[in-house]
Each structure stands twice: as structure tokens, then as C-alpha cells.
Amino acid sequence: DHRPLSERAALNKEALKQSFLDNLFHTQGKFPALASKSDYYLALAYAVRERLLQRWISTAAEYMQKGARTVSYLSAEFLMGPHLGNNLINLGIYDEAKQAMTELGLNFDELLAQEEEPGLGNGGLGRLAACFIDSMATLEIPSLGYGIRYEFGIFHQSIVDGWQVEKTDKWLRYGNPWELQRPEWAVQVKLGGYTEHRSEEDGTLTVRWIPSRLVSGVPYDTPILGYRNNTANTLRLWSAQAPESFDFEVFNRGDYYGAVMQKMSSENLSKVLYPNDEHEGGKELRLEQQYFFVSCSLQDMIRIMQGQRLPLEHFHEKFAVQLNDTHPAIAVAELMRLLVDEHKMPWNRAWQVTCKTFAYTNHTLMPEALERWPLPLFKKVLPRHLEIIFEINARFLDEVRRRYPGDSARVARLSLIDESGPRYVRMAHLACVGSHAINGVAELHTELLKSDVLRDFYELWPNKFSNKTNGVTPRRWMVLANPRLTRLVSDSIGEDWIKHLDQLQKLEPLAESADFRSHWREIKRANKRALAEVIARRCNVAVDPDSMFDVQVKRIHEYKRQHLAALHIIALYLQLKAQPNLELAPRTFIFGGKAAPGYRMAKLMIKLITGIGDVVNRDPMVRDRLKVVFLPNFSVTNGQRIYPAADLSEQISTAGKEASGTGNMKFQMNGALTIGTMDGANIEIREVVGADNFFLFGLTTPQVYALQAQGYRPHDWYEQDPQLREVIDMIRDGYFSRGDASLFRPLVDSLLWHDPYFLFADFRSYVECQQRVGETWVDTERWTRMSILNSARSGKFSSDRSIRDYTKDIWHAPSVPVELLT
């Protein structure tokens, strides 16, 4: 054990208590009689922060001295979830902190619950970024997460009369103890205006960008601890501020109020997170946000290099920059601009550096989600970048023409500019051209990228492509979220699994021990009881912890098919009405997830689920055999209570639509069985757990394509399946909308006449599969065995494995263990 820099940072319980009380007084300005729960939380958070700083400083010193190669993870979203519990675990002082608070007469869990989670992401993509920086710190890989410090994160969802209602997420209201503002590293970002091209007297051509606006980016740093090591990496989020200096022209015109307005408008840049799965093409502010954080981050990397006296020709040796989807893809043009325009590097040299620097991860196959910016908008915001993109495109298309003489159709398909109608900049193409590596996030997804979405790029550069299946961090999703299971597992196989999740395999033989199975069940039961209390409080519905918890939590989207689950519930309900004495193992259907505020169909899906709950939960004939709840405001915090309490994990997207899914992995680790389609990472989950331990249903991707091609007529499927017909008619006729036969009309009509996600084609297979689930559930011992095996075989889905894959094939960033400074 190492001696701390100061006694202030000692890790024992008594020192923690003292530091907590000191902070309550000196930081919060309160004494116990006056302090609120939030004051107590903040006092503990500051006490923990003091204990992080030594690691943070030691890590910075180590990296500086070693000149370490660094991974820059560029992401418009980091869905971190609460820090306090996670930091206590990674520091190895969770139990000490709990004990300290208890001895001071405080309720530790209540105190942890005070933290407002930084919800700076929409869903899977943002949470993946959070898991990845956790794993990089645990693997001691030098890394910087770069993103935006949104003042308002993902909206808060409540349910009123069965409808989603959004409220702003004021996460910074009581201050954020985990961040440090670094005003000394602020940078300036230009926007708008025009360019000037001049030939200098020495014959060189120079380009000047005369912007119409300047915004300054101020970094806020949050330490990211590795699990029980000395590494503390950094999450650096940029906040937009107006630079006072730029207002002088307006001031000189005496337009004081105009100047203040301009100041306010630049600060809007980091005001709010966009709900990314809303098809709102052409939002100027979103393009500005993307450019803002990308420019800040690249300028910051250049500053770091200059601080270490490294020439910019070596940029790609110092930094491996990963583009988390196309949101930061403008980085390709921005690095070119910085190197060529501002640092006078010749184009060809700069282009080599740029291509060796970037790697691009694609996260979706949905065509409407591929980012494109209308040319006029792009030119207005980033006039110089448009010129650079034209130049990159000209050189790239020359190469394409040399490779495929006469193939002008291919040239048009590959171009960075879509010219089939009104012109657009294609951000995925920019990312592909400017990166040396391109990856998908699950095996199927990568194959579909190669054969479909990015086919022409694959034919051009097959060696750039690889798969990197997603993963999730077992520190947050098992150790923190499921302490009971963690203890049982560690008591059985030791603690190594927390860093080497493959070791969970050692649980496999224990699936045959009746004693172990009984412990396993007790834990699930306790987790379910805890979730049942939350449900009682938030939904005012009493659910039975002995019923099967059948859970679907994820963003609400037609392709994820929450409404397919709804159709099944109605089918079960009808069965109970028809045969009141039917033997049916009690089930609790739990839904959670946010709908994009402008996505009407998704909001209607929520209303349908809550409408079904209103009918089913109250019907005495059901005799509590079915319960349906919609848990409001699904978030990282709520997820931590939900995954450990689930028996069945619903992963029922149309085959070929869900790039990977990561919730599926969180469920599996915590011992839920999956009912799922051959989509995303479900396929790999099934592969590792074995077909016998996975409930598979539905069309495969090729079958979906074939059905599509032959002409899918959902109304025919409706007519040919009496059970489906009865279910749909009931919704249509207003049974779940208090007789209002118009409410669900858009949803019913969409299914009957379009059904773009093939619910009707998969309905029969889903219902039959759910029947098998029910039969398996009643064999308690068998179900428990399967549950243990699911968890025991989840090692592949640790984000540590994902990060090892990335660094082995793409980043080549060696570990740098940190020596603690004393």
C-alpha cells in the first residue's frame, strides 16, 4: 500500500469520516443539524474526490514523462451514470465508505441516490462510450474522452395519463463535484463567414478563413478511474462561452443589447443534447455542436504535442483518434485545416497524417440515420471545410476512376457529395475516406456494412474493415448494480473475474449444485423485491416478486418492436379471458425507455403499453397472473436496479436492424435468459450460451430481405391468423383507449398496410417461443441452471475484451502502469 500525498487522502474509514465532516463544513458550509441529503452526498463526493486527485496527478505525470501514445475517443455523447458508487468501487473503499456513513448515523444508499446522473447521451452509443473509457482506465491505456458538456442532458421523462411528458434535465443544479474547470486550456472556435485565397510574394498559396463568429471552448475534466489500479484517465468535456473580445465591433456601434444577444447565442452551442434518433435533418445548431467539440479537441491535442515538443508530423504516433459514429467525422476536414492552413504542412503530408490518425466506428444500418448535411447549410457554417472536403473528394474520386475506369455510377455512389437531388455532404463517406480503419459493432452488423451500407468502400479497401463486437463494463453492471450476486460469485471463484470476465466460466460446474442454485435464486428474488418496491412507488402497481419479470428496456422505436411485445401480452390476456382457469405462470411485464420528443409513433407505443396496463392490471379475471408496468425515466441509475432483477430479457428487433444492442449483455451477465431474434449481438450471445439456453424466434436477415423483395402484404398475415386478428381488432376498436377507436388508428393502420418492421410476419413465431419460455419457467431448477450458464458464459461481452480488440487491431496503444506519487 502506498502512502498518500497528504493525510487528507488516506483511504481508511476514520480518515474518510473526518474528511466528510470537514467538507460538510468547509465546502458545503453546513453543519449536521442544517444539512440536507444533497449536502451529505456532496460532502462525501468531495471526500472521495480528494482521494482521486493523487491518482489523477500521478497518471498525468507518468504519461507526460513516458510521452505515452494516447487514445482520443471522440464522442458527442457520454452516458456516464452516477460517479460516486463507481469511484468507491474502483478505489476499493465502497465498504469503508458505507461503514463510515452508517457510523455517522446516515443512510448510505439514500445518500448515493442524491446524485443527479450526467445523462449526456441518448442510449446505447453514449453508454458504450462510457463503458469504453472505464475499460481503457482499467487496462491502463492512456486515453482522453472528448465530448460536450451539455447544460441539459437527455430529457427527464414522466408519464401523465399514459403519455410521455418531457422535462429539462437540470443535472448541474446543485453543482458537479466530479469536474474541474480548466479555463487555462480554453480554445477559440471559428464559425461562419467566408474564405480568402491569396498568392503570397514567395509564390505560395494561402487561405484565410474570416469567420463571422468566434466561440470559446472551456474544458471541464472528470477523472475516470481504473478498477483497483493507480490509473485515472480524463473525460474532457467542452463548454461554449462567448469570448468578450469579439463583441467589440457591435459595442463600437453602440449596440450593447445586440452584443449581449450574440453572447447568449454562442453559449447555446453546448446548451442541450439532441435526441439523436429523431430524423430532424438539417439542424444548424447540431452541426455547430459537432464542429465545436471536434475543433476544441483537435486543438487540445495539438497543444499537448507542443507542450511535449513533438513535431506535428508525428501526430498519428502520439494520438489514435476514434470517431464514435459520424457525429465527429468533421474531424477529418478540421485536422487537415489545422495542419495545412494553420501549421503550413504540405497537403499530401497532412493527408497521410490524417488517415493514419483516424478510425471510424459505424453504429447503425438504418438509412434514415446516416448523417448528411445540405450543402448550403454546410457552406454557411463551415465555408473553409467545404472547400477542403471538395479537395479531398477530387483526389479521392481520381483514385476511384483509376481503379474503375468508366464506372461513373460507382463514382457517384462513392462521392463525398450526394448529387442525386439537392446536394448533401455525406458524413459517413468523409469518415471512411479519412480513416485507416472502419468497424461495425457486432459480427452481423459488420457483415451487413460490407455487403450493403458501405459495400463500395469495402470493395475499394477491404483491409480497412473489421468487426469489434460491443461490450459493457462488469464494474458498473455487475459489481455496482448487483452486490449480492457479486458476493456469491466472488465467494465461489475469487475476485479475478471482475478484471477477467472469462473467468465466470468457473461457475459452470456450480450450475449442477442444488445448493448453489438455491443461493442464485435467493439473490434474484431479493433483487426483484427491491425492484418491486420501486415499481410500487413510481407506478403505483403491486407486482409479485415471485412472478417472472419479463423486461424490455431501451429507447422506444418501431424497429425495436416494443409493440410486438404488446401484441403478445394482449394475446395472453385474451387467452385468460377465454379460459379463466388456465394454468399460467404469473408474469410481470416491465417496460422502460424514452421516445424522441418528435417521434409520434413511438409516443403512441408508450400510450399503448400503459393502456394495456390500465386494463390488465385491474381486471379481476386475470387474478394477478399478468401485470404490465411502464417504469418512467429509464436511465443508467434505473438500469442498475432493473437488469439485476430481470428473469427474461426481450431483444426482439427485426433481424438486420439493431447494430448490436448492449442492454442484451447487461441482462445476460446478471442471469436473465434472452428471448430474441437473430439480430445484432444476440447472435453472438446465443453462440456462447448455446442454442438450448436461448429462446430464438423470428425471421433471419436474409428471410426478411426475401419477404421484402417478394412483396410483403401484412394485411394477408392479419387475415390468416385468427389470434392476431383478434388482438389487432381489440386495439383498433378502442379496448385499450377507453372506447376511443381513433387513438391507436395510426399505429394499427401502419401495421396493417405497411408494417415496415415485419411484426405480423414474426408474431406467430414470437407467441410460440413465449409459450416455450413459460413452460421452461415452471421447471424452476432447469431455469436456474440456464440462468447460471448465461451469466457464466458472458465473459466475451466485457468491454475489456472490446477494448483489447480495438487496441490490438487499430490503436496499438500499450498499457502504461502508473506509479503513485507520494
What is the binding site for ligand 26V (CB under 6 A)? 123-125, 128, 276-277, 279, 325, 363-364, 366, 368-369, 441, 470, 658-662, 680
Q: How far is the CB of 291 from ligand 26V (least distance, A)?
A: 19
C-beta of 169 vs 371, nearer to ligand 26V: 371
- Annotated catalytic residue, options 555, 594, 657, 732: 555
C-beta of 293 vs 599, nearer to ligand 26V: 599
| Positive or negative torsion for Cα 134, 138, 141, 143 | positive
Q: How far is the CB of 781 from ligand 26V (least distance, A)?
A: 33
Residue 450 appears among annotated catalytic residues: no
Q: How far is the CB of 658 from ligand 26V (least distance, A)?
A: 5
- Annotated catalytic residue, options 17, 49, 190, 363: 363
By beta carbon distance, the residue nearest ligand 26V is: 124
Residue 662 appears among annotated catalytic residues: yes
Q: How far is the CB of 634 from ligand 26V (least distance, A)?
A: 15
Q: How far is the CB of 180 from ligand 26V (least distance, A)?
A: 29
Residue 636 and residue 134 in contact, taking contact as beta carbons nearer than 8 Å = no
Q: How far is the CB of 659 from ligand 26V (least distance, A)?
A: 4
Half-sphere exposure of 617 (CA within 13 A, CB side): 20
Q: How far is the CB of 369 from ligand 26V (least distance, A)?
A: 3
Q: Partners of 186 in the beta sheet?
A: none
DSSP class of residue 423 equals: -
C-beta of 59 vs 473, nearer to ligand 26V: 473
Residue 500 appears among annotated catalytic residues: no
Q: Which region holds residue 364: left if phi is over 0, alpha if psi is between -120 and 50, else beta? A: beta
Q: How far is the CB of 567 from ligand 26V (least distance, A)?
A: 21
- Annotated catalytic residue, options 554, 657, 686, 796: 554
Report the run of H or E that residue 247 belongs to, with start and end: none
Q: How far is the CB of 642 from ligand 26V (least distance, A)?
A: 17
Q: Measured at the alpha carbon of residue 429, what is the angle toward residues 426 and 435, in degrees to the nearest 5? A: 140
Q: How far is the CB of 684 from ligand 26V (least distance, A)?
A: 12
- Annotated catalytic residue, options 654, 662, 677, 784: 662
Q: Which residue in 427, 421, 256 sits closest to 332, CA to CA?
A: 427
C-beta of 128 vs 673, nearer to ligand 26V: 128
Q: What is the C-alpha to C-alpha distance for residues 391 and 358, in angstroms, rounded to an integer?
A: 18
Report the run of H or E that residue 549 belongs to, with start and end: strand 548-553
Residue type, 346: P
Q: Could you identify the residue written with the cell 430524423?
A: 279
Q: Which residue in 289, 354, 364, 376 sits closest to 324, CA to CA?
A: 364
| Positive or negative torsion for Cα 458, 460, 462, 465 | negative
Q: Which cell numbers hold the place of 335?
A: 485536422
Q: Which region holds residue 428: left if phi is over 0, alpha if psi is between -120 and 50, else beta? A: alpha
DSSP class of residue 5 equals: S
Residue 554 appears among annotated catalytic residues: yes
C-beta of 286 vs 521, nearer to ligand 26V: 286
C-beta of 470 vs 635, nearer to ligand 26V: 470
Q: Which residue in 376, 417, 424 sits closest to 397, CA to CA?
A: 417
Question: How many of the other CB atoms lie within 10 Å of CB of 618?
Answer: 9
What Rg, from alpha-carbon coordinates, does the chain have? Answer: 27
Residue 576 and residue 621 in contact, taking contact as beta carbons nearer than 8 Å = yes
* Cβ-count burial 292-319 (b if 16+ within 10 Å, e if not): bbbbbbbbbbbebbeeeeeebeebbebb
Residue 666 appears among annotated catalytic residues: yes
Q: What is the C-alpha to C-alpha distance for residues 175 and 189, in angstroms, rounded to an integer?
A: 26
Strand 213-225, strand 187-191: pairing: antiparallel
Q: Which residue in 452, 651, 683 sits closest to 560, CA to CA?
A: 651
Residue 555 appears among annotated catalytic residues: yes
Residues 6+ apart with CB under 8 A from 538: 631, 632
For the chain, how long is the longest CA-to-CA vector?
A: 94
The catalytic site residues sit at: 363, 554-555, 560, 662, 666
